[in-house]
Amino acid sequence: MPSKVYFLPWKKRGELYKFLKAAKVFYHVKARNFLAVKIHFGEEKNKGYIKPEYVKPVADIIKEKTAFPYLTDCSTIYVGKRADAYHHLLVANKHGFSVESCGCPIIIADGLRGNNEIEIEINKKHFKSVLIGADIAKADSFIFMSHFKGHEATGFGGAIKNIGMGCGTKAGKFAMHHTSKPHVHNAKCIACGSCVKNCAQEALSLENKKIVMNKNKCVGCGQCLVSCPKNVFILDWNEGSNSLQERIAEYAYGVLKDKKSSYINFVNHISKYCDCFDIVKNEPLMDDVGIVAGTDPVAVDQASYDLTNKTYGKNFFRTIYPDIDPEIQLEYAQELGIGVRDYELVEY
């Protein structure tokens, strides 16, 4: 049976509050419940993240039901300003996320150093259990606000990625990433050192003006691919991305297990790279599409994917990443029973 998915065209984004009320996607919000609103606050200088003005209507609807919303995310495993709770909160504040602007506080779910976690048993193909940020796992239910855009490792990043990778602690993120280690095409290296500075695992060093990778230290985070101006790092996307997408879907399965949630995708500022990168590499490459909401993350991502491709005139994601099949995450998430790819679109 198809899932119902609701669509608000971008030009009508000012009507977000009325749209969400009409869509009735917050069916699971109960009085005095703690509601985790999972979002990505954007890396420093990033411009693509969902803006605080769109969080306020969501928090307002939750509070009307006398429940307690809080914004949340987990630490990253790459060099940046969100690798621990202290700096993460400073970036969120710099990007305008405050109690005043959003109508709710922020709790970084995996704590100061990214190791406050709860293990959830799933017994799936890649993982027997997953490691989730404790203050996400302890929420009564969830709302995932996801920026839908291109992604350097999975083709696109939307709800499934926000749930799976976004709710994993540092150890969880390492586990998801560890099969996607890049190869080094050293002849192209100009010894600029950019990748060395950006590798949080200290897996890279310059020796005789050429880059050397310690594969034992590399966790496959992909930061060096984006930071290198000469495309020295090459990922075997068929192997790396397919497995990574499945691993993320399994983490999403663990997060959602026994919990109710809803999903709001912002299909705007559609860039090639995710919100973990800075302004230079994060410009939008096509027109904004709109806001997609529902109670099925697979259907919400599928509809966001289809609407993006329809607006672009052909498959946007296969155009920017010809070697990545981004539909693996949709297919495997459906196989896991997280949701269905078939949907009925209701336009507001």
165 lies in the site for ligand SF4, by CB under 6 A:
no
Q: How far is the CB of 289 from ligand SF4 (least distance, A)?
A: 31
Q: How far is the CB of 108 from ligand SF4 (least distance, A)?
A: 22
Cβ nearer to ligand SF4, comparing 80 with 290: 80
> Which one among 104, 118, 153, 204 touches ligand SF4, defined by CB under 6 A?
204
> Which one among 223, 241, 242, 282 touches ligand SF4, defined by CB under 6 A?
223
> x/- site string to ligand SF4, residues 180 to 199, per CB under 6 A?
--x------xxxxxxx---x
Distance in angstroms (rounded) separating the CA atoms of residues 149 and 332:
20
The secondary element (H helix, E strand) that includes residue 162 is helix 159-167
Q: How far is the CB of 190 from ligand SF4 (least distance, A)?
A: 5
User: DSSP string covering 280-344, please?
Assistant: GG--B-S---EEEEES-HHHHHHHHHHHHHHHHTS-HHHHH-TT--THHHHHHHHHHTS--S-EE
> Which one among 36, 104, 122, 219 touches ligand SF4, defined by CB under 6 A?
219
Provide the residue type at 258 as one letter: D
Two structure tokens written together for 342: 């078939």
DSSP annotation of 168 reads B
> Which one among 52, 155, 158, 220 touches ligand SF4, defined by CB under 6 A?
220
Kindly indicate which of the ranges 19-27, 40-48, 217-225, 308-316 contains the residues binding ligand SF4, using the contact rule CB under 6 A.
217-225
Cβ nearer to ligand SF4, comparing 195 with 320: 195
Cβ nearer to ligand SF4, comparing 245 with 308: 245
Distance in angstroms (rounded) separating the CA atoms of residues 19 and 348:
7
Cβ nearer to ligand SF4, comparing 79 with 134: 79
Distance in angstroms (rounded) separating the CA atoms of residues 124 and 3:
24
Considering only CA atoms, which of 314, 152, 176 is closest in space to residue 237? Answer: 152
Kindly indicate which of the ranges 131-139, 219-227, 297-305, 338-346 contains the residues binding ligand SF4, using the contact rule CB under 6 A.
219-227
> Which one among 29, 175, 224, 264 touches ligand SF4, defined by CB under 6 A?
224
Kindly indicate which of the ranges 55-63, 95-103, 160-168, 203-211 contains the residues binding ligand SF4, using the contact rule CB under 6 A.
203-211
Cβ nearer to ligand SF4, comparing 155 with 297: 155
Classified as helix, coil or strand, 35 is strand
Q: How far is the CB of 105 from ligand SF4 (least distance, A)?
A: 32
Q: How far is the CB of 233 from ligand SF4 (least distance, A)?
A: 6
- Residues of this chain, 227-286, that bind ligand SF4 according to CB under 6 A: 227-228, 230, 232
Considering only CA atoms, which of 241, 253, 260, 341 is closest in space to residue 301? Answer: 341
Q: How far is the CB of 174 from ligand SF4 (least distance, A)?
A: 9
Distance in angstroms (rounded) separating the CA atoms of residues 288 and 290:
6
Distance in angstroms (rounded) separating the CA atoms of residues 294 and 196:
42
**How many chain residues bind ligand SF4 (CB under 6 A)?**
25
Two structure tokens written together for 28: 């699971």
User: DSSP string covering 110-152, please?
Assistant: TTTTT--EEEEE---SS-SEEEEEHHHHTSSEEEEEEE-EEET
Cβ nearer to ligand SF4, comparing 128 with 215: 215
Provide the residue type at 5 as one letter: V
Binding footprint of ligand SF4 on the chain (CB under 6 A): 182, 189-195, 199, 201, 203-204, 211, 213, 218-224, 227-228, 230, 232
